[in-house]
Amino acid sequence: MNSNNTVACPLDCFDACEANYIDEKCKPSREHLITNGKLCVKFAQLLKEHNLKSSIYERRDIELTDALEILSNKLEQNNASKVLYYKGSGNIGVMQGAPKEFFSQYGATFVQGGICDEIGDAGLTQGRGHNVNPPLQNLIDAEVIISWGRNFSVTSPHMYAKVKEKTFITIDPIATDMAKKSDLHIQLNPKTDHELALLLTRFAYMDDMNDAESYVEYSSGAEEFEDFAKSRPLVSYESTIGVHLSQIIKFMDMIKDKKVAIMLGLGVQKYFEGAQIIRAIDSFATYIGLHNKKAGGVWYLSDASYGYESQFKTEATKSVDVTNIDFSAYELVFIQGANPVVSIPNSLNVIDGLKNTFVVYFGTTYNDTCAYANLIIPSADFLTKRDVRLSYGHENKAISYAVKQKNENCISEYELSNHLLKKFNYEILKPELEIFEYYKNTQPKLPKIKSFEFIEELEIEALYEDKEDDQYYLITGKRKNSLNSQFKIDNCAYFHSSSPFNEADELILCTDYGKAKFTVKLSDDIKENCILIHAGAKNVNYLTPNVSDEVASSAIFQDVIVSIELS
Ligand SMILES: Nc1nc2c(c(=O)[nH]1)N[C@H]1C(S)=C(S)[C@@H](COP(=O)(O)OP(=O)(O)OC[C@H]3O[C@@H](n4cnc5c(=O)[nH]c(N)nc54)[C@H](O)[C@@H]3O)O[C@H]1N2
Ligand SMILES: Nc1nc2c(c(=O)[nH]1)N[C@H]1C(S)=C(S)[C@@H](COP(=O)(O)OP(=O)(O)OC[C@H]3O[C@@H](n4cnc5c(=O)[nH]c(N)nc54)[C@H](O)[C@@H]3O)O[C@H]1N2
Ligand SMILES: [Mo]
């Protein structure tokens, strides 16, 4: 144990908060810039979790040493490429990377692509070479903040608290908490953000807001982008985006001559061509001169490990797209800190596969995926292991010391990895303290944008062209009191009250990829043509495509049209 008493919230969130462990209680840190003396409801839920305290083999409690023996025997007996290593984001401390080093030396198959921000990351990187946010101070110094496909006040409440007095614009099909707090809400149709970006560029051109001076030295393709934006009749935009032009005029008025920040979120990129969509938005941002300024800029889910050298050597020899894994094709599947039964697309495919392989679950709690696990190994919880939390929202990190004695039946990611590395006579990890100190003490410099390629054409299949009047767009996003599939889950499907359904109706929803039952809830926050089902809802991913996007091998949860099965 260490005399230092800070702990980092391990949850997958932009904020990356810090607490002090005093008298066996976590108190919000007052010194940590982002935490600023407050912790959120999700952190409180995390402290109330019933953590696993015993290993389980074929539904019977066993000793940890026996569980480790079963695991290493199985790994020895199997062909390495028939072993799949699957890591989720239940804890996003850097030490979660340790098992990767074992599984890569062993030669397991890894998962490629992702189910989170990867499509947007690829799009931003195509345009500007990296995906790193500007300094937090630029946000604090902005005058107008545009929350674009991001539920800013809900999914990063601490970052929001820093800037809540600013003028806000929200671009979202749902009247989210953030939209209600905004001076302007552009309630567009899903998957039309690229069209909106072009329309805004056209208005910016007409309003003399092209800030060529700011980008001319480091960019290419600005003229082509401008011509492209001007090439379409204004009226056609209005009908496809579903937004009146008067709102666009108001938008322009609100941002003209102002220091503007765009907070981009996952909403714009959960589609097959999501990378193109986000690039179109970033091109608009460049056109009006938001990059490399002293205030404002464009934020997304930043590459949190930019500028750090990975302390875990990982070289995957074989990998498979996360969106369409046939789990049954592997003899052993090792799942760490994830709940794929609920969180990855196409639950039917996932469950069928997991039933037909040997599943090892390594995590803190008994989640939905544990029902299909042959062997469960309890991971040490965040209060009992040393770690560093980097953030994808801002440049501040959070430090975690082991402030509590670990339960003797649990094992940390670092310990499990070294145990296996030794067992297989592989090279072991660097000392834990050395890795910890490296991440704690390294302070990478945030890069400027040194080159930018405007997007010059778009090839995007519109969802609105396929949708019939009695069908709906699927919106699936985060909820205030839960963290993905953890804590209090809401399994309902939300419709606008003008829909033909009644509160509490049970409906079967279908897509080209599957179907499932949901209970109806009515809310006028939902756009008439949309259904909202939260992330973590048990059945939502029965509806989603087991198809990857076009560039990042990643999940396209919202590239579907939903029909109602008539009984
Ligand atoms: N309370 C809470 N906070 C969280 C999480 C959580 O589960 N709960 N999860 C964390 C994680 S893992 C992540 S990755 C981040 C994600 O944080 P956000 O980026 O905020 O994620 P989402 O809620 O998925 O989507 C954001 C918004 O996009 C909107 N949207 C959907 N489709 C479209 C579209 O086509 N265009 C536009 N413009 N908007 C659209 C949705 O209505 C939603 O309000 O949040 C983190 N923070
Ligand atoms: N339909 C739909 N699906 C989505 C999304 C959506 O918006 N809509 N969002 C997607 C996004 S952005 C994300 S990031 C994913 C998240 O999906 P997952 O990566 O599956 O994450 P969680 O659902 O949070 O489950 C994480 C599990 O990690 C375990 N855990 C917690 N702490 C630790 C620890 O310290 N060590 C270990 N070994 N285990 C731990 C807990 O038991 C928990 O059940 O879901 C995606 N799925
Ligand atoms: Mo995520």
| pLDDT tens digit sequence for 505-515 | 999 999 999 99
* pLDDT for the residue 407: 96
The minimum-distance atom of ligand 1 relative to the CA of 116 is 14
Q: In a mutational test of the pocket of ligand 1, which residue from 121, 148, 151 has the highest number of ligand atoms less than 8 Å from its CB?
A: 151
Q: In a mutational test of the pocket of ligand 2, which residue from 339, 344, 539 has the highest number of ligand atoms less than 8 Å from its CB?
A: 339
What are the pLDDT digits (tens) for 125-135?
999 999 999 99
554 lines ligand 2 (CB under 6 A): no
Per DSSP, the chain holds a count of helices (H) and strands (E) of: 18, 28
* pLDDT for the residue 239: 87
What are the pLDDT digits (tens) for 174-231?
999 999 999 999 999 999 999 999 999 999 999 999 999 999 999 999 999 999 999 9
Q: How confident is the model at residue 1 (pLDDT cuts 50, 70, 90)?
A: very low
12 C-alpha vs ligand 3 centroid, how far in Å?
Answer: 7
Q: What is the mean pLDDT of residues 464-483?
A: 96
146 C-alpha vs ligand 2 centroid, how far in Å?
Answer: 27
What are the pLDDT digits (tens) for 526-559?
999 999 999 999 999 999 999 999 999 999 999 9
Looking at the whole model, is its pTM more than 0.95?
A: yes
Q: What is the mean pLDDT of residues 457-484?
A: 96
* pLDDT for the residue 567: 67
Task: Tell me the C-alpha distance between 335 and 393, whole Å.
Answer: 26
**Over the range 446-477, which residues count as b (16 or more CB within 10 Å of their CB) and which as e?**
beebeebbbbeeeebeebbeebeeebbbbbbb
Task: Tell me the C-alpha distance between 319 and 109, whole Å.
Answer: 5
Q: How confident is the model at residue 237 (pLDDT cuts 50, 70, 90)?
A: confident
Task: Tell me the C-alpha distance between 504 and 478, whole Å.
Answer: 21
Angle (nearest 5°) at CA 346 between 344 and 351: 85
What are the pLDDT digits (tens) for 300-314?
999 999 999 999 999
88 C-alpha vs ligand 2 centroid, how far in Å?
Answer: 6
Percent of the chain predicted with pLDDT > 70: 99
Q: What is the DSSP letter of 238?
A: I
260 C-alpha vs ligand 2 centroid, how far in Å?
Answer: 32
> Could you tell me the two tokens for 316?
């995957």
491 lines ligand 2 (CB under 6 A): no
Nearest alpha-carbon partner for 94 in 417, 343, 567: 417
Name the residue at shortest CA distance from atom 14 of ligand 1: 116
143 C-alpha vs ligand 1 centroid, how far in Å?
Answer: 23
How deeply is 427 buried, as exposed, middle or buried, from its count of CB atoms within 10 A (0-12, 13-18, 19+)? exposed
Name the residue at shortest CA distance from atom 10 of ligand 1: 13
Name the residue at shortest CA distance from atom 5 of ligand 1: 483
Task: Tell me the C-alpha distance between 48 and 57, whole Å.
Answer: 25
297 C-alpha vs ligand 1 centroid, how far in Å?
Answer: 20
The minimum-distance atom of ligand 2 relative to the CA of 12 is 14
What are the pLDDT digits (tens) for 4-25?
999 999 999 999 999 999 999 9
* pLDDT for the residue 2: 45
Q: What is the mean pLDDT of residues 82-93?
A: 98
Q: What is the mean pLDDT of residues 487-509?
A: 96
492 C-alpha vs ligand 2 centroid, how far in Å?
Answer: 19
8 C-alpha vs ligand 2 centroid, how far in Å?
Answer: 17
Q: What is the mean pLDDT of residues 26-30?
A: 97
Name the residue at shortest CA distance from atom 35 of ligand 1: 190
How far, in whole angstroms, is CA 274 from its chain's centroid?
14
- pLDDT exceeds 80 at position 3: no
Name the residue at shortest CA distance from atom 11 of ligand 2: 116
Direct distance between the N- and C-terminal alpha carbons of the chain, in angstroms, rounded to an integer: 60
Name the residue at shortest CA distance from atom 25 of ligand 1: 267
- pLDDT exceeds 70 at position 316: yes
User: What CA dihedral angle connects 233, 235, 237 and 241, to 10 degrees?
Assistant: 180
- pLDDT exceeds 60 at position 375: yes
414 C-alpha vs ligand 1 centroid, how far in Å?
Answer: 31
* pLDDT for the residue 566: 79
Percent of the chain predicted with pLDDT > 90: 97
Average pLDDT, the chain: 97
> Could you tell me the two tokens for 304?
């949190």
Name the residue at shortest CA distance from atom 35 of ligand 2: 91
Q: What is the mean pLDDT of residues 401-408?
A: 96
Task: Tell me the C-alpha distance between 358 and 55, whole Å.
Answer: 15
Q: What is the mean pLDDT of residues 51-61?
A: 98
271 C-alpha vs ligand 1 centroid, how far in Å?
Answer: 14
Name the residue at shortest CA distance from atom 39 of ligand 1: 149
Query: Residues lining ligand 1, CB < 6 A?
Result: 12-14, 42, 116-117, 148-151, 154-155, 171-174, 176, 190-191, 193, 265-268, 301, 475, 477-480, 482-484, 535, 558
- pLDDT exceeds 90 at position 364: yes
- pLDDT exceeds 50 at position 435: yes
Which amino acid does the sequence have at 518?
F
